[in-house]
Amino acid sequence: MATAFLDDDEVGKYKTYFKPSQNQTIALGPKDMSISETWRQYEVALSELTKVITFSRLWHSFLGSAYFSELKPRTQKDYLQHQKKLIAVFGEVKADNIKPEHVRTFMDKRGLQSKTQANHEMASMSHVYKWGYERGYVKGNPCAGVMKFKAVKRDRYITDEEYTAIYNAADDVVKAAMEIAYLCAARLSDVLGMKWQQITEQGIFIQQVKTGIKQIKAWTPRLREAIEIAKSSSAPAQADTPVIMGQHKGHYTKRGFSNRWTEARSKASAQLGYELDCTFHDLKAKGLLTDTLTQWFDCFADPELAESFYIRAFPLVDITAMPDDEILSHRPVALLELVQKHIRTRDMLELATDIARLLNPMGNTERAVP
C-alpha cells in the first residue's frame, strides 16, 4: 500500500512513497498530489514492478513450463536440487542484472565445496536463461563464456578381490543389488527402481533413467542366482513391487541403500587391511569393462569367427587410406584393423591412446586391466 512520510531530499519536501517490500521504496510524487494522481502513479509503479523479472521469477516460470514438464523425472529432480543454492544467491536479483563475473564468483565459492555440483548448478542456470531468452524474458545468458571446472574422470577399478570382500560382507539386499549392477552394467538408480515386471523370460529389461536407453540383459546362471537372492527379501508375485525392496515394502532411497553399502565396504576394508574408496557406481564401470573384454576375446578365441571378421574387413578397401575415426567405428575388429593399418604405415606409436581407449571403455589410459 502507499504511505506518506518525510524524506530529507534536496528540496526538503514531503513526498508520497510506495513500499512494495521492507527493503524497497518507490517515490510516487509530492505530498500535495491529488488522490486521483496518487492512485494513478501507484498503479504505474505497480505495473512496472510486475514487469521486473528476477532470477527467482525466471526460474519458477521455467519450472512451470511445458518444456520442464516433458523432461525426464530424474532431470526434473536435479533442477529442484540445484535451485536451493541458486535461488539463495541470485533469487531476488533482476535476471538481466546478473553478469558473467557474478556467475564466476558463485562458481569459485561453490567450487570450494564441490566442483562437480558447481558445474551442474551452472549448467541448470544456463539452461533456464536459454529458455528465458528464447521467450523474451531476458536479454542474454550470463553463464555464456564462464568456464566450468575441469572434470576429473574416475579411474577407480574394483578388483575381483575387492568385489568379493564387499560381497561377502554384505547382507542379501546389497548382494543382490551388487550383482545386478555389475552383471547388467546398471546405475544405482536403475537397480533401486527395478520392478518385478522387468524380470522376463528372456532376461532383465532395463530402461536407463538417465539416458532412456532400453535393453534386455540375457540370463546367465550368475544373474539368475542374484534374482533368487533378491526374492528372499522382496515380493516377486507382485509385478509392480521393487526387486530391491525396502523395509516398508517400497523402493529404497539412495541414502538408505548407501548406508548399507557403506557398512559392507567398511567391513571389507577391515578384512583387506586398507581403506576402500570405491563407490557403488564403480560397479557399473567394472561391468562395462568386463563385458567389453569378454566380447573382444570371445570374437578372436574362435579361429573361424576371427577369420570371418578378418576376411571381410580388408580385401574391400585399402586399410591405410581409411581415417582412424572410421576404423574405430568398426565392430569388435577395430583394434585388429588399427594395428594392421599402422604396421603397414610404420607409425605404431600413434596408436597408444586409441588402443587404450578400445581396451578400457572407462577412459582410463594409465591403469592396466587387472
Give the total number of structural domains in the chain. Answer: 4
| Range from 120-134, 138-152, 294-308, 315-329 carrying the lowest mean pLDDT | 294-308
168 and 277, same structural domain? yes
- pLDDT computed for residue 232 by the predictor: 87
Mean of the per-residue pLDDT values of the chain: 78
Q: Is the pTM of this model over 0.75?
A: no
> Residue 313, SS3?
helix
Confidence of residue 310 (pLDDT cuts 50, 70, 90): very low
In a domain, 79, yes or no: yes
334 and 221, same structural domain? no
In a domain, 78, yes or no: yes
Kindly tell me if the per-residue pLDDT of 169 is higher than 50: yes
195 and 229, same structural domain? yes
Select from 85, 118, 134 the last residue of a domain. 134
pLDDT in tens, 261-298: 999 999 999 999 999 989 898 888 787 666 555 554 44
277 and 195, same structural domain? yes
DSSP per-residue letters across 72-83: -HHHHHHHHHHH
248 and 193, same structural domain? yes
207 and 103, same structural domain? no
87 and 15, same structural domain? no
254 and 177, same structural domain? yes
Closest of 279, 285, 282 to residue 361, by C-alpha: 285
In a domain, 204, yes or no: yes
CATH of the domain at 76: 1.10.150
Q: Give the structural domain span for 224.
A: 160-282
In a domain, 85, yes or no: yes
277 and 164, same structural domain? yes
CA distance 231 to 229: 5
273 and 181, same structural domain? yes
Confidence of residue 370 (pLDDT cuts 50, 70, 90): very low
Neighbour-count burial of 211, counting CB atoms closer than 10 A to its CB (0-12 exposed, 13-18 middle, 19+ buried)? exposed
273 and 180, same structural domain? yes
**Greater confidence, 265 or 308?**
265
In a domain, 292, yes or no: no
In a domain, 183, yes or no: yes
pLDDT in tens, 327-355: 555 544 555 555 655 555 545 445 555 55
173 and 262, same structural domain? yes
